[in-house]
Amino acid sequence: MSLKSKMMIPRLATIKRKSVQFDQSGGPTHNLALYLKAKTPEIVNLSHNVNPTSKRRREHQVVQSLCSKMAGIVEEIEDEHLKHLFDNKDVINVYNLDVVNLSAGAPGPDLLKRCIPLFMQATVHRMEKEQEHAYLFQYGITSGLWEYREQLSQFLTKRYSEQVNRADLVLTCGAAHGLVLIIDTFLPRNAVIFVEDVTYMIALEAFRQFPSMKVVPVPQTSEGVDTEALNIIASEEKSKGSWELTENKLFWAIFYTIPIFHNPTGLTMSQNCCESLVRVARKLDLAVVRDDVYNLLYYGDSDSPPRRLFSYDRGTEGFRGGHVISNGTFSKIMAPGVRVGWLEVAPRLALVLRNSYELFLRSGILKSGGAVNQYMSGVITSILELGLEDKHLDFLVHTCKERMQAVCDTLDQFLPSYCSFTRPEGGYFVWLRLPESVDANRLAKWCQDKYKVAAIPGSRFSVKQGFKNYLRLAIAFHQVEILTEATKNLCLGIQDYVGNKCK
């Protein structure tokens, strides 16, 4: 089933439910008739000169026909017994080693199994705390469990080697939810979303859910986004628009980025680039939304990971920040299934809004139900309080460093000389550059069929479907032996393809 078909199904299901009203009443209900008149040319185009009785009869026939067709489409939905996101006939199942899938940006089963004793111990610990009032099972405060944000601020302060304040944190269901929450809360309907030339493909899909917002790519350099180009492009876009800003909708635009261990390139934004980006954001009054997803998966020799872009925003003397929002998650440093993350918002937002969460209290997403994922955040609070996440993260860093090194060492040994890559200092991904003449979409299919290894073509990460001569490899799911063999096979597949298909 195509993505378009899947997106249509909820609306069709709604129409099917309305068609029940149609069948019971013997004629179209008022609301359904209005909806179908707006959506159905056969009804709209009926001549105004037609006899009213004949026109109603024709409307009745068209509506019946349309509802029948749509009901048939809805009935074709399959509800297969799937076990995980990758257990789908539309993708290569990363658990199935018939084809080694180097596409999945997810921790492997050997890493996830280590979460079982963590959660067993933390659950017991948390349930003992809930014996008196069971607050954890109540609607939570909008910004998230106080204890969760307190323990998280201590954990992040230690791991980042810089201060993170509890009052600046907001509980989310992970980075994807945080991104949508930012867009829904901070931006007007006609906002502009700036992205790097290549960026996280799922973020691009999320942006398409806001069709009235314009997505504009900006060139990149080896140091990060080209801030001079961003300044020119964003200034031009701002001059062309009229922005519906309110006390809630604070920014006319955002720039979305993954500045540390970028997805898909693996690069880290330089200090000069960070400083320049913050200056551009302040000058044009746009927000920089950064995914802080891979920061703590640092494989270098320093005691701390690279400095966060968030700290550049609030680090200037006389300026308290407010143009950078940090979007974090436990998906990569614990387990994606927990669906728990956080936003970190700067002090200026707290001052403008009188407290850090007044803006989010007004969010339609949070206002009614309170904190998202209240229960799981309580369990994770215990994991943090007991020091279990520190030990788990240390193990993840050690293991993923070995896996990254295995992939890069294999590329150094077997990758043809006409290809290139940069060895990342952290994160999940390696970005391969192929000859200009190579279409990575075709190459990927070739390697999948002939060499039983899969990777994602670069065009998936581009707004304009560019970067067709690039591949992204992911290192976290498979163990070293499998990664080494699969990477070698990929190199052989590239050499074979270029030698045979590109002549």
User: Which pLDDT tens digit goes with each residue over 143-161?
Assistant: 889 999 999 999 999 999 9
Q: For the residues of 2-71, what is the DSSP string, one character each?
A: -HHHHHHHHHHHHHHHHHHHHHHHTS--HHHHHHHHHH-HHHHTS-TTS-HHHHHHHHHHHHHHHHHHHH
Q: Is the entire prediction scored with pTM above 0.85?
A: no
Domains of the chain: which residue ranges? 3-74, 100-113+390-501, 115-386
Contact between residue 431 and residue 470 where contact means Cβ atoms under 8 Å apart: yes
Strand, helix or coil for residue 217: strand
pLDDT of residue 77: 72
Taken in order 182, 183, 188, 193, is the CA torsion positive or negative? positive
Q: Residue 40: which of 19, 16, 59, 68 has the closest Cα?
A: 59
pLDDT of residue 441: 96
Over residues 340-352, the mean pLDDT reads: 73
**pLDDT surpasses 70 at 46:** no
> Class assignment of domain 100-113+390-501?
alpha beta
DSSP state of 337: G
For tokens 């990254």, the residue is: 404
**pLDDT surpasses 80 at 206:** yes
What is the token pair recorded at 429? 């991904």
Q: What share of the chain is helix, strand, coil (3-state, %, to 5)?
A: 50, 10, 40
For tokens 């976290």, the residue is: 476
pLDDT of residue 51: 61
- Cα dihedral angle (143, 149, 152, 157), rounded to 10 degrees? 100
Q: Where are the alpha helices (DSSP H) in 386-479?
A: 388-414, 440-451
Residue 153's alpha-carbon distances to 148, 157, 163, 167, 316, in angstroms, are 8, 6, 8, 9, 22
Q: Respond yes or no on whether the N-terminal peptide bond of residue 264 is cis (omega within 30° of 0).
A: yes
- Whole-number Å distance between alpha carbons of 262 and 268: 6
Query: Letter for the amino acid at 152?
Result: L
Q: Residue 263: which of 202, 348, 305 has the closest Cα?
A: 202
pLDDT of residue 368: 58
Fold of the CATH domain 115-386: Aspartate Aminotransferase; domain 2 (3.40.640)
Phi, psi values for residue 11, rounded to 5°: -65, -40
Q: Residue 462: which of 256, 153, 252, 195 has the closest Cα?
A: 195
pLDDT of residue 79: 81
Q: Where are the alpha helices (DSSP H) in 328-439?
A: 347-352, 358-361, 364-367, 374-385, 388-414
327's CB contacts (< 8 A; 6+ apart) are 172, 175, 178, 179, 182, 289, 290, 291, 292, 293, 341, 343
Q: How many helices (H) and strands (E) does the chain have?
A: 19, 14
pLDDT class of 345 with cuts at 50, 70, 90: confident
Taken in order 112, 118, 122, 124, is the CA torsion positive or negative? positive
DSSP state of 172: E
Tell me what percent of the residues of the chain surpass a pLDDT of 70. 78
pLDDT class of 324 with cuts at 50, 70, 90: very high
Bridge partner list, 464: none
Q: Residue 194: which of 225, 239, 240, 222 has the closest Cα?
A: 225
Higher-confidence position of 322 and 420:
420
Query: Letter for the amino acid at 58?
Result: R
- Whole-number Å distance between alpha carbons of 265 and 473: 10
pLDDT of residue 7: 41
Sheet strands (E) in 197-316: 214-218, 220-221, 224-225, 253-257, 287-292
User: Which pLDDT tens digit goes with each residue over 385-407?
Assistant: 999 999 999 999 999 999 999 99
Q: Within 10 A of 248 (CB to CB), how many other CB atoms are there?
A: 15
Q: Within 10 A of 182 (CB to CB), how many other CB atoms are there?
A: 22
Contact between residue 32 and residue 17 where contact means Cβ atoms under 8 Å apart: no
User: Which pLDDT tens digit goes with each residue over 86-98?
Assistant: 887 767 888 988 9
pLDDT class of 20 with cuts at 50, 70, 90: very low
Q: What is the mean pLDDT of the chain?
A: 85
User: Which pLDDT tens digit goes with each residue over 216-240?
Assistant: 999 999 999 999 999 999 999 999 9
Lowest mean pLDDT among 67-71, 191-195, 472-476: 67-71
Strand, helix or coil for residue 468: coil
Lowest mean pLDDT among 7-11, 331-335, 432-436: 7-11
